[in-house]
Structure 1
Amino acid sequence: MATLRAATDRLLDNAARLGDDAVRAPSALPGWTRGHVLSHLARNADALVNVLSGRPMYASAEARDADIEAGAPRPLAEQLDDVRATADRLAGTAADIPADGWSARCELRNGVTDVMARIPFRRLVEVELHHVDLDAGYTLDRLPEEFVTREIDFLTARFAGDERVTPLSLSAPDGSTWTTGAPPSGGDPVRVTGAPYALMGWLAGRTTGTGVRTENGAALPTLPPL
């Protein structure tokens, strides 16, 4: 939670340098303005309060989308107040969970379940990646190394065994390696190399493979959307 608070403060400090016109301008996410990104972050914090409190994450997919749309056009000051207040509310809810409560299972969207103890990291992913999505100078190579490594671990675990994903062997210059994708069926996995932040950006769908390459120079496999 302390790491999450620091990441949220970085995002708020950076977003505060934007103006109302910049908030209404496109973000790095297709079809979303920066206001959509900030609105989503606030509503996501509310949704995770619901999860930690044993309630459905969202009333419905339609309600989720409508709430983001409704909040997107607001002035910058209102957006920042909302992100800050909802982050505080999430932190307060987390602080009230007893130590033995974090091992309980909870339900997120689309039938996905997890243990409560993973919720702070899931929120950290939202904050860090959407900070990049604001397209306001916070780029993938500025993400904390520990976060990048944990997110690669998370994403490779998510894609492990997925028949839609070509068997992959990932490696970074520091010697770190990961495997993911469908089980190899008679052939070697596709070997992909790149700096950790570049590998993470590709796995997370933030790039089409900038700074990442296959060992044999072939085109990178296509990954399914998250």
Structure 2
Amino acid sequence: MTSPSPAALPAELHKAADALTAAVDRIPAGGEKASSTLPGWSRGHLLAHVAGICNALARQVEYGRRGETVELYDGGVDGRNRAIELAAGHSLEDHREDVAAAVQRALAAFDALGEDEWQTRIAFRDGVIFDAGLALWRELVIHTADLDTGSGPETWNRAFCSHLFDFLAARVPAETRLVLQPMALPPLTLGTGGSTVVVSGMVTDIAAWLAGREPSLDSLRATAAGDGTDLPGLLPWPSAIPDPK
């Protein structure tokens, strides 16, 4: 299982953006104050984050194309958190405008890329523009589910789940060998540890669990040495911005 090619990624970004827009449009009046699925965050916090990360990834591309690098967020993780807290209490209409503008900025930045520009070096993850494009895809798709407006992980397509299996392999502890058995799809092994756990179920449920989200189809089953067992613990999500020390 692999991530989409740079040529295929823009179409996925546009589909994800359309789904996010539809989810935001379903938020009722006053619903921005309700809880998202993320602990401690209202929908307002989440919408502020979505606008912030879209703008942050857009400027990675904009600077990169000029041969310059810039940190993901001004002020690093502290700057990110301050910006979210300041914007979280905005009105629903303000959130909709901010998210729409940020998403369009990000899509325009990636749509403008030439074939040879996807491998341009950027500061984000000490990587290339393609890495930022994959990150935008993750942010749009996963946070659409986090808004809790009727579009959960069960809507994630196979290509996205495949990408998550690759990206989130870093969450498998060193001592664990995780064998994923998505229904009607080939099995996949993540990790090389000595303790083998088999996780079976719908592909979207497995991807949601790996992403730290609640599986929406209640299909997961974990086994070890043929016996039922608890789902194994996972390492933290691989962050693109280090916490300040």
On whether the aligned pair clears a TM of 0.5, the verdict is yes
Q: Is the 8 A contact 2:45 2:88 kept in 1?
A: yes
CA-CA distance at 1:22 after TM superposition: 0.9
SS at 2:122's partner residue? Answer: strand
SS at 2:212's partner residue? Answer: coil
Q: Is the 8 A contact 1:195 1:211 kept in 2?
A: yes
Match for residue 86 of structure 2?
70
Alignment coverage as a number of residue pairs: 217
Match for residue 201 of structure 2?
194
- Of 219, 230, 244, 1:219 maps to 230
Q: Is the 8 A contact 1:40 1:68 kept in 2?
A: yes
Q: CA, structure 1 residues 73+20, in 2 after alignment: closer, same or farther (shift >3 Å)?
A: farther
- Of 54, 72, 83, 1:57 maps to 72
CA deviation map 1:38-81 (0-9, x unaligned):
11010001110222222111122111001111111111111111
Alignment-mate amino acid for residue 195 of structure 1: M
Match for residue 143 of structure 1?
156
Q: Is the 8 A contact 1:16 1:76 kept in 2?
A: no
SS at 1:167's partner residue? Answer: strand
Q: Is the 8 A contact 1:20 1:75 kept in 2?
A: no
Q: Following the alignment from structure 1 to structure 2, what is the Cα–Cα distance between the partners of residues 83 and 94? A: 17
Q: Following the alignment from structure 1 to structure 2, what is the Cα–Cα distance between the partners of residues 44 and 99? A: 24
Match for residue 240 of structure 2?
none
Alignment-mate amino acid for residue 68 of structure 1: I
Match for residue 114 of structure 2?
98
Match for residue 22 of structure 2?
13
- Of 123, 145, 149, 1:132 maps to 145
State the TM-score, normalized to the length of structure 2. Answer: 0.81
Alignment-mate amino acid for residue 40 of structure 1: H
Match for residue 57 of structure 2?
48
Q: Is the 8 A contact 1:27 1:37 kept in 2?
A: yes
Q: Following the alignment from structure 1 to structure 2, what is the Cα–Cα distance between the partners of residues 65 and 172? A: 36
Match for residue 29 of structure 1?
38
Instruction: Tell me: higher relative CO, structure 1 or 2? Use CA pairs within 8 A at least 6 residues apart.
Output: 2
SS at 2:30's partner residue? Answer: helix
CA-CA distance at 1:208 after TM superposition: 7.7
SS at 1:192's partner residue? Answer: strand
User: How high is the sequence identity, in percent, across the aligned residues?
Assistant: 29
CA-CA distance at 1:149 after TM superposition: 2.4
State the TM-score, normalized to the length of structure 1. Answer: 0.88
CA deviation map 1:128-185 (0-9, x unaligned):
11111111111111222322222223222x346x52x62211111213222113x234
Match for residue 168 of structure 1?
178
Which runs of 5 or more residues in structure 1 are unaligned?
none
Q: Is the 8 A contact 1:152 1:203 kept in 2?
A: yes
Q: Is the 8 A contact 2:45 2:87 kept in 1?
A: yes
Q: CA, structure 1 residues 92+178, in 2 after alignment: closer, same or farther (shift >3 Å)?
A: same
Alignment-mate amino acid for residue 85 of structure 1: A
CA deviation map 1:197-226 (0-9, x unaligned):
010011000038942111320111111221
SS at 1:224's partner residue? Answer: coil
SS at 2:231's partner residue? Answer: coil
SS at 2:127's partner residue? Answer: strand
Is the counterpart of residue 203 in structure 1 residue 219 in structure 2? no
